[in-house]
Amino acid sequence: MRKVYLDHSATTPVDPRVVEAMLPYLTEKFGNASSVHLFGQEARAAVDRARRQVASLIGARANEIVFTSGGTESNNLAIRGICEIAEARGRHIITSVIEHSSVGGTIDFLEKRGWDVTRLPVYDDGVVRLEDVQAAIRSDTVLISVMMANNEIGTIQPIAEIGALVRAERERGRRYLWFHTDAVQAAGRLTINVETVGCDLLSLSAHKIYAPKGNGALFIRRGLRLLPQQVGGHQERERRAGTESVANIVAFGAAAELAQREMNKRNEHTRRLRDRFESVVTKRLDEIRFNGNREQRLPHLSNISFRFIEGEGLLIHLDMQGVAVSTGSACSSGTLEPSPVIRALGRDEELARGAIRFSFGKDNSAEDVDYVVEVLARAVESLRKLSPLHRRSVVAV
Amino acid sequence: MGSNALSYSETFKDHLANPRNVGELSDANAVAEETNPVCGDRLRLSMRIRNGRIEAARFLAYGCPPTLVCGSALAEIIEGMSTEDAVKLTRREIVKAVGGLSTRKQHAAALAIEVLRTGIENWRHGSMA
């Protein structure tokens, strides 16, 4: 059976060039980057090089990068780190309703501990409005956290505009307002420059850009102090204690360099595949809805709601044919949680339940697209035949 | 993000790939449709009952894979069964027929039993959904 992986927003396969770069640090170059001897120095040099590579991907300085265990830890460190150190200055956070759970959950946690939270809507196109951000800013607002691009529908948020707004507030004398953006989905797909974006904190994850799972980074603007969430060691300039995972960091650095170098090529490729997919799906299937702004979105992602059917059934059907995709809805113990992101677009429950994310990668081919469309069309047809919401299939037996 | 195909049995996947007795009978004399009020899963069952025996049964389902599969297993099992035996069917028997279900997915089998009992009840009272 052919296997087609269309879930690159969940994770990516590790690039063989990245494996090659990290292998020596799993074998002969095993030193602890904090050790003073040659083994340690070798590891330290590798970590420093990776730090420069990751910094370069987002236009930052190397000493503004803190390595973490992944995107979730980066988001926790950014949000809790800044809010907990600044709580005497204010306890109000602005965020959006479509953040990844690692941002949403961290902010929920703070809300339970007394912080006020404003969650901005996204309207039917899945994009935050600048005027809503502006209107939400209060005298006690300490943090704005809005993702750069959404993980389910790929919509790109007006991050540079929010950054400019924060900068303007600072120029008017506000010293205690900071801006964080979760760039886990955007990195390697959008050209990012932290100066242009104007953010103070920016989260990254390695495994979304063809490096292994278990590593991420947080950009912390020079001069900004956070309350460390992990203590008991001097690593990462006291901002994140714990022995560096050298091999993973080296892999992240190599992947960041490749992502930067190959970004245009990868984007052209995935955009071509995605557009071909959407064009054929539109011809083959009726009663479908594309979710999110189709212009202002990541080039590799397509999110479609299929009316009359439920996403999990479609996902399993595709999985049985070797096609890997994602759905934002989950059903367990008789309770259903339709994707909050799709619901935030104002879609009805049926469309929210029938949403599937297809996310393309650099190694997919046009043949993959053709195979997926065939399998998808058959699966949708088969599930619709079963559906009491669809036209009734009356039979005489 | 939901379940994966590996968490289901071969029987389950076979029902999902090749659902049995799909559709709605044109000459049904017992019809019921039940919705799980919490998750919105829906199951519709139409039966032709003659002399206390279910001669034919067809189902339609909307919802998560266990709901689709339990509908398929139900419609297959009850064909040829007496209504007296059919009302005694249990959730456990449906779970067994689909090759097992995790505890958190057993609501789908409960919905199948509910729609069957409502259908037979409707037939006894001469009413149709």
Interface test with A, best of B8, B62, B128 (most A CBs within 10 A): B62
| Domain match, A250 and A294 both | no
Q: Kindly report, residue by residue over B4-19, the tens digit of the pLDDT.
A: 555 788 999 999 999 9
Q: Which residues of chain A neighbour B115 with C-beta distances below 8 Å? A: none
Q: Which residues of chain A neighbour B60 with C-beta distances below 8 Å? A: 386-388, 392-393
Which of A251, A243, A185, A194 is closest to A219 using CA atoms? Answer: A194
Residue in chain A closest to B22 (alpha carbons) equals: A386
Domain-terminating residue out of A259, A276, A308:
A259
Report the 10 Å Cβ neighbour count for A245: 20
Indicate if the pLDDT at residue B38 is higher than 90.
no
Domain-terminating residue out of A259, A291, A314:
A259
The answer to whether residue A96 sits within a structural domain is yes
| Domain match, A145 and A219 both | yes
Is the ipTM above a cut-off of 0.85? yes
Q: Which residues of chain B neighbour A310 with C-beta distances below 8 Å? A: 41, 62-64
Query: Measuring CA to CA, how many Å separate A203 from each of A59, A146, A261, A344, A381?
Result: 14, 11, 20, 23, 41
Q: Which residues of chain B neighbour A326 with C-beta distances below 8 Å? A: 1
Nearest to B39 among A309, A320, A331 (CB): A331
What confidence tier does A337 reach under pLDDT thresholds 50, 70, 90? confident
Q: What angle do CA A12, A70, A253 make, to 5 degrees?
A: 70
What residues of A are in the B interface, CB distance below 8 Å?
10, 308-313, 315-317, 319-320, 326-336, 349, 353, 382-383, 385-389, 392-397
User: Cβ of B105 and A332 within 8 Å?
Assistant: yes
Catalytic residue among A136, A224, A331, A336: A331
Interface test with B, best of A303, A356, A395 (most B CBs within 10 A): A395
| Structural tokens at position A301 | 């992602």
The conformation of residue B105, written as its DSSP 8-state character, comes to G
Q: Are strands B24-25 and A394-395 parallel, antiparallel or unpaired?
A: parallel
Q: Kindly report, residue by residue over A245-261, the tens digit of the pLDDT.
A: 999 999 999 999 999 99
What confidence tier does A339 reach under pLDDT thresholds 50, 70, 90? confident
Indicate if the pLDDT at residue A395 is higher than 80.
no
pLDDT reported for residue A278: 98
| Domain match, A229 and A282 both | no
Between A322-336, A344-358, B90-104, the lowest mean confidence (pLDDT) is in A322-336
Q: Is there a catalytic annotation at residue A331?
A: yes
**3 state SS of B91:** helix
Interface test with A, best of B64, B98, B101, B115 (most A CBs within 10 A): B64
Consecutive H or E run containing B58: strand B53-62
Q: Which residues of chain A neighbour B9 with C-beta distances below 8 Å? A: none
Average pLDDT over residues A100-111: 97
Question: Is residue A21 within 8 Å of residue A14, measured between CB atoms?
Answer: no
pLDDT reported for residue B39: 82
Domain formed by B5-124, architecture: Alpha-Beta Complex (3.90)
**3 state SS of A363:** coil
pLDDT reported for residue A203: 98
User: Cβ of A385 and B61 within 8 Å?
Assistant: no
Which of A99, A96, A106, A98 is closest to A75 using CA atoms? Answer: A106
**Counted domains in chain A:** 2
Indicate if the pLDDT at residue A338 is higher than 90.
no
Between A192-196, A297-301, B124-128, the lowest mean confidence (pLDDT) is in B124-128
Question: Is residue A243 within 8 Å of residue A234, measured between CB atoms?
Answer: no
The answer to whether residue A396 sits within a structural domain is no
pLDDT reported for residue B1: 38
Average pLDDT over residues B24-42: 92
Which residue has tokens 């009302």? B87
Phi, psi for residue B10 in degrees, rounded to 5: -60, -40
User: Cβ of B39 and A320 within 8 Å?
Assistant: no
Cα A103 from Cα A280, distance rounded (Å)? 35
Indicate if the pLDDT at residue A390 is higher than 90.
no
pLDDT reported for residue B129: 56
Indicate if the pLDDT at residue B2 is higher than 80.
no
Average pLDDT over residues A5-18: 97
pLDDT reported for residue B104: 84
Between A51-55, A218-222, A240-244, B103-107, the lowest mean confidence (pLDDT) is in B103-107
Q: Which residues of chain A neighbour B38 with C-beta distances below 8 Å? A: 334-336
Boundaries of domain holding A179 = 16-259
Phi, psi for residue A183 in degrees, rounded to 5: -105, 20
Which residue has tokens 């456990």? B92
Query: Measuring CA to CA, how many Å separate A265 from each of A187, A192, B21, B71?
Result: 15, 16, 50, 48
pLDDT reported for residue A392: 58
| Domain match, A272 and A237 both | no
| Domain match, A64 and A189 both | yes
| Domain match, A220 and A277 both | no
The answer to whether residue A361 sits within a structural domain is yes
| Domain match, A252 and A271 both | no
CATH code, domain carrying A167? 3.40.640.10
What confidence tier does A31 reach under pLDDT thresholds 50, 70, 90? very high
| Domain match, A236 and A271 both | no
Nearest to B107 among A327, A333, A388 (CB): A333
User: Cβ of A395 and B36 within 8 Å?
Assistant: no
Which stretches does DSSP call E strand in chain A? 4-5, 65-68, 92-96, 116-120, 141-145, 178-182, 201-205, 216-220, 288-290, 301-306, 323-324, 330-332, 335-337, 355-359, 394-395
% residues pLDDT > 90 (chain A): 93
| Domain match, A289 and A336 both | yes
Average pLDDT over residues A279-290: 97
Alpha carbon of A79: minimum distance to chain B alpha carbons (Å) = 24
CATH code, domain carrying A346? 3.90.1150.10
Q: How many residues does chain B have?
A: 129
pLDDT reported for residue A195: 97
